[in-house]
Amino acid sequence: MAGTGVFAEIIDGEVYKYYADGEWKKSASGKSVSIINPTTRTPQYMVQACTQEEVNKVMDAAKAAQKLWARTPLWKRAEFLHKAAAILKEHKNPIAECLVKEIAKPAKDAVTEVVRSGDLVSYTAEDGVRILGEGKLLVSDSFPGNERSKYCLSSKVPLGVVLAIPPFNYPVNLAVSKIAPALIAGNALVLKPPTQGAVAALHMIHCFHLAGFPKGLISCVTGKGSEIGDFLTMHPGVNCISFTGGDTGIAISKKAGMIPLQMELGGKDACIVLEDADLDLVAANIVKGGYSYSGQRCTAVKVVLIMESVADAAVEKVKAKMAKLSIGPPEENCDITPVVSESSANFIEGLVMDAKQKGATFCQEYRREGNLIWPLLLDHVRPDMRIAWEEPFGPVLPVIRIGSAEEGVHHCNASNFGLQGCVFTRDINKAMMISDAMETGTVQINSAPARGPDHFPFQGLKDSGIGSQGITNSINMMTKIKSTVINLPSPSYTMGSRLAKKEYQKTKRSAISFLPSYPERNNTQQPLFLRFRSFLFFYIGHLSEQVLATIRFFRLVCLLPPALTVLLIPAIGYGLNDTKIHGKKNK
């Protein structure tokens, strides 16, 4: 049960504490913020309303802890994360209970979110060791006009303090997708959870606390956005912001200054259906993609753009599947549960009424009870209707009939958003052409939009965001490149050549002293054939000297065919012993 057992220390009476400097604390403000249960529409939990001064203390502690954490061996950072992941999955039920009561997430989906989050943390630990354990070496003579006199060693180092702000719809999963990359990279982490979902996030943070992370490295501050929101995002102690949410992110990006930003700000994900599409597959994906968690997903299908020739048949198949959806409270694992707040329900209703006034066809009767809105499909939607462009974040889906694939792509690209899209067709060439033309971060072929798997790149264009997410991209984004250049007094291959020659001289003295040599005499006293042979052997010997500068003599002999070895040994021997042949010393 939430707030009991190992989680008992995170609550004081009826108010959940905030987490700072390795301890669970009550705010000096003496104030709290209520969290409304979307199903009952009554207060469910209360959290601390932190002050700006408490935020300052959190930042100071984070900065100090980060310096020590950055010097912690990479393998040890990974061990901490693996331990946190195991604890998180062990205590999945109390955290899932919070998700059910705070954001009306169906019970089975709530458990899945927590388990998925644990898997994400473990994968991040492994991926982080691989990514951060690799460096890069550049040599200067790879660029024209340079000798090999400089070596550049590059590696990834942490940014400092990362501020993570997840959304209400995945307050655990999208929190750890920011926390784990930040920590494995050597950063400190300050979490500002959403109000709806804050208690689930606090339980999740306690799992990291139980894993034994150093004090001050991880913090979680709760409170009103009007009090600490801007103060956090503009705080000089923040070195990076990872935000998932709505229009608030645009304001943050304007105020954040010169720090790295990772932002996902929503979407109007289009589903383009061509004439040759498998309509059963289309219907299944539209219902799953459009109505899972009552449509409260950034990657939910938000508009269907379907060819007129197959629209009637596809709409009937979608309606048949929608009729099987269960509607009710999240505790009963219903498919459609209440949306997160009354204000959200009112916004959705406004879009529906606008479409009704402008002539959209209602495939079902519009029905609402409190925050619970029955799933609705709107056919014959036109571009002049608000729902054609605005993101409802609810169980309402518009269908726009098109005459060509180009028309569908044009509508998709006319949107201010560019998160994801999808196309259904049996023609892979058409699918790839449409994918190339769609101005979105990701295009799914023959499947509804989706964020996962969590190690896949996830990014938006236009008003859908800045930067790319996914485990690998997040680790890279939360680090910076540090280079060290080694300057040599002379090109390294020159030095290598001298060293090789010196080593070769040692080899010559020790390895080939057994080779026969001719008696010392003046060249002019030698017969002509001997002088010619001496010249030939001298020439061959000098050629072999270049080979032996990098390959030891015995290794060369062992690798050569026996017949060639018999011929080459005397040649090399006479060439190397040219002191006796020519009566002078080699330089």
Distances (CA, A) of 525 to 432, 578, 583: 83, 16, 12
Cα separation of 450 and 444, whole Å?
8
**Residue 237 DSSP symbol:** T
Cα separation of 548 and 557, whole Å?
11
Cα separation of 187 and 474, whole Å?
12
Residue 52 one-letter amino acid: Q
Which tokens hold the place of 67? 């310096």
**CA-wise closest residue to 296 among 248, 349, 344, 355:** 344
Helix 528-548, helix 492-511: angle, nearest 10: 130
**Phi first, then psi: what are they for 98, rounded to 5°?**
-65, -40
Cα separation of 97 and 199, whole Å?
10
How far, rounded to the nearest angstrom, does the alpha carbon of residue 587 sit from its chain's CA centroid? 60
* β-pair type (240-244, 368-369): unpaired
Question: How many other CB atoms are found less than 10 A from the CB of residue 573?
Answer: 18
**Catalytic choice (102, 264, 390, 391):** 264
Which helix (H) or strand (E) segment holds residue 58: the answer is helix 52-70
Which tokens hold the place of 116? 């998925």
Helix 279-291, helix 308-322: angle, nearest 10: 60
Residue recorded with tokens 């009566």: 583
Residue 512 one-letter amino acid: I
**CA-wise closest residue to 473 among 154, 193, 177, 192:** 177
Provide the greatest CA pair distance for the chain.
119
Which helix (H) or strand (E) segment holds residue 409: the answer is helix 405-414
Strand locations in 303-462 (E): 303-307, 361-362, 368-369, 372-373, 376-379, 396-402, 417-418, 420-424, 442-445, 458-459, 461-462
The question of whether 308 is a catalytic residue gets the answer: no
Residue 335 one-letter amino acid: D
Cα separation of 193 and 224, whole Å?
10
Residues in contact with 393: Cβ distance below 8 Å, sequence separation at least 6, in sequence order: 266, 295, 296, 300, 339, 344, 347, 348
**Is there a contact between 26 and 17 (Cβ–Cβ < 8 Å)?**
yes
Residue recorded with tokens 């680790």: 475
3-class SS of residue 399: strand
3-class SS of residue 209: helix
How far, rounded to the nearest angstrom, does the alpha carbon of residue 136 sit from its chain's CA centroid? 20
Cα separation of 167 and 478, whole Å?
19
Assign 3-class secondary structure to 248-298: HHHHHHHHCCCCCEEEECCCCCEEEECCCCCHHHHHHHHHHHHHHHHHCCC
Residues with a known catalytic role: 264
